[in-house]
Structures are given as structure tokens and as C-alpha cells.
């Protein structure tokens, strides 16, 4: 079962979702009915992402979880990218530092949400600009 931020990431991409967490995490935000370039969310994630948020959640109030979930989201994005590149479950597990069964579980969730397909199409946004492997294994 996905949380709100995972659903948002599926809609606007992992990079934009991480920006949303960074600047609005731990707060309740109202998604505008109509996107506007002067809206704080537009300044954070850009108009294309805000437009997609409005299409999905116009007028709704969402709690944006804090940065505590950043590592989880980054790990899932990395798993999706590695799977899209054709790495085996075993290779992904070794690269990430988690068990094969957990990789299988995460991939089932990501595939069910269409995230691996987005990664294969290059639509997840650029990789996070940190050393992801270190961050997700600590």
C-alpha cells in the first residue's frame, strides 16, 4: 500500500516529490484547483509538476511527510532504475544492500504502480544528486 508521497511521486516523479518533501515536508498543503506560477508549490517543483498535482488532487489538503521518508523514496527510485536497466533481483539486492525477497516485494509494488515502466521510459526525472547507495544502506 502506497503512502501519499509515493502516490505523488508516481504522479510528478521522484525528483519533484523529493523537492516537495524538502521544502514542504512536515506540513499540510492545499493543492490549488488551478495551477499558477506564483503558487509556492510551483516555485518548488515547477509548473508541469504542479499541473499534474492539480489534475490528481485539485482542492485537496495533503499532509506532506517530512524528510524521514527521503531515503525510502530514493531507494525505491534506484530499484526502479536498476530494474529498468535489466539488472536481476539478486544484483539489485547486492547493489542496494537489502535481501532479494525485499527487492521482489518492492518491485511488485513499483510494477503495480507503473513506476518501473516510467523508469524504463526515462520519465522518473534525473537521479538524485547524492550518493544513493550510501544513503539507502545507512
Q: What is the mean pLDDT of residues 117-130?
A: 69
Asked if residue 67 lies in contact with residue 22, where contact means CB atoms within 8 angstroms, the answer is yes
pLDDT at position 136 is 31
The mean-pLDDT minimum among 61-65, 116-120, 126-130 falls in: 126-130
Note the pLDDT of residue 27: 82
Which of the pair, 32 or 96, is modelled with greater confidence?
32
pLDDT 10s digits, 66-116: 766 667 777 888 899 999 999 999 999 888 878 899 999 999 999 988 888
User: DSSP string spanning 92-128?
Assistant: HHHHHTS-HHHHHHHHHHHHHTTHHHHHHTT-S-SPP
pTM of the model: 0.52
Candidates 80, 73, 81; CA nearest to 17 is: 73
Residue 49 has pLDDT above 90, yes or no: yes
Q: What is the mean pLDDT of the chain?
A: 83
Confidence of residue 131 (pLDDT cuts 50, 70, 90): very low
Query: Which residue, among 83, 96, 80, has the nearest Cα to 135 in the 3D structure?
Result: 96
Amino acid at each position: 500500500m502506497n503512502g501519499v508521497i509515493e502516490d505523488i511521486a508516481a504522479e510528478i516523479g521522484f525528483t519533484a516529490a523529493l523537492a516537495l518533501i524538502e521544502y514542504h515536508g512536515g506540513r499540510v498543503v492545499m493543492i490549488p484547483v488551478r495551477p499558477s506560477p506564483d503558487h509556492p508549490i510551483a516555485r518548488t517543483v515547477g509548473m508541469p509538476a504542479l499541473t499534474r498535482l492539480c489534475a490528481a488532487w485539485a482542492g485537496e489538503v495533503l499532509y506532506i511527510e517530512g524528510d524521514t521518508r527521503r531515503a525510502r523514496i530514493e531507494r525505491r527510485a534506484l530499484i526502479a532504475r536498476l530494474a529498468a536497466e535489466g539488472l536481476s533481483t539478486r544484483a539489485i539486492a547486492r547493489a542496494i544492500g537489502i535481501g532479494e525477497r525485499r527487492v521482489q516485494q518492492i518491485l511488485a509494488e513499483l510494477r503495480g504502480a507503473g513506476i518501473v515502466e516510467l523508469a524504463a521510459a526515462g520519465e522518473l526525472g534525473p537521479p538524485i544528486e547524492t550518493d544513493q547507495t550510501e544513503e539507502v544502506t545507512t
